[in-house]
Homo-oligomer: A and B are copies of this chain.
Amino acid sequence: MKTVTIIGLGLIGGSLAISLQEQGLVTHRIGVDLSAENRQQALALGLVDEASADLAAAVRRADLVVVAVPMDAMLTVLPQVLDAVDHQVVIDVGSTKSMLLAAVAGHPRRGRFVAVHPMAGTEFSGPAAAVAGLFDDKTLVICDAAQSDADAVATVEQLFTRLNMRIEYLDAAAHDLHTAYVSHISHITSFALALTVLKKEKEEQQIFALASGGFASTVRLAKSSPAMWVPIFRQNRVNVLDVLDEHIQQLQHLRQLIDADDAAALHQQIEQANLISKILK
């Protein structure tokens, strides 16, 4: 692996640029971004060795191409990338998969593309959000691996194993279902919590002097970018609505128990919720 072209110089693209360099997995990094400001910032931060706005040329010079743009742009950028590919290995790093894989299903270079989702991130975005070690000890999901050329899958497995990631294999539909549960719903609850508190704060200014670690950790994801999350919610709409309905029902049940002052049932529900600690230490 010599040259990587990273398209989209945000949190994930930038962090991957750092990690690939640190592990000696690439010798040259080309950054592509529509935003001249992002290209300049990525260069200034040393995330890439060269910045370009010419996608096709940057793809042709690469051995590995990483497409790290929001999921709406992904649907048009990934086919453009595959149009320019012959031998290169191409990965996305996107949070939804079914629509994307349908969009490139018939592409003559489909085999060079490996659909991956590193289960890692922060609430921040843009080149300045890129951090070292973001992927360390996290899970990488590879989707529909059988649709990719065997050598391309092997390259991706080797690369992310070197970044100390655990690799899981899922089909696109299962990926989108599971990520609705463990990732997308968390973001919606956090956005809603922020909106709730901001709404109330109009009445009561002093509230924020009192915010402790618990509130901060629950509301942290509400700082996440709409440019990233709106397309995710749209592309995973059916699964997100399903888990969101369950969540609203659980909240309404807790509300009803508090309203009825039913201490025993409330205690039982919280004990049930505590079982999450058997799964997440």
Contact = CB atoms under 8 A, between A and B. Distances in A.
A236 to B, nearest CB: 9
A275 interface: yes
B185 A222 contact: no
Interface in A237-252: 237, 240-241, 243-248, 250-252
- The oligomer's copy count stands at 2
B270 A255 contact: no
Given A183-B215, A270-B226, A188 B251 contact: yes
Contacts of A122: 213
A141 B181 contact: no
A178 B206 contact: yes
A223 B272 CA distance: 10
A196 B250 contact: yes
A62 interface: no
Given A276-B197, A276-B222, A280-B216, A230 B191 contact: no
Given A185-B197, A230-B270, 17 more contacts: A121-B213, A139-B212, A174-B206, A179-B210, A186-B214, A191-B273, A195-B250, A196-B250, A198-B276, A199-B250, A200-B243, A218-B221, A219-B276, A223-B277, A227-B267, A248-B252, A248-B255
Interface of A: 119-123, 138-139, 141, 166, 168, 170, 174, 177-179, 181-183, 185-201, 204, 206-227, 229-230, 233-234, 237, 240-241, 243-248, 250-252, 254-255, 258-259, 261, 263, 266-267, 269-277, 279-280
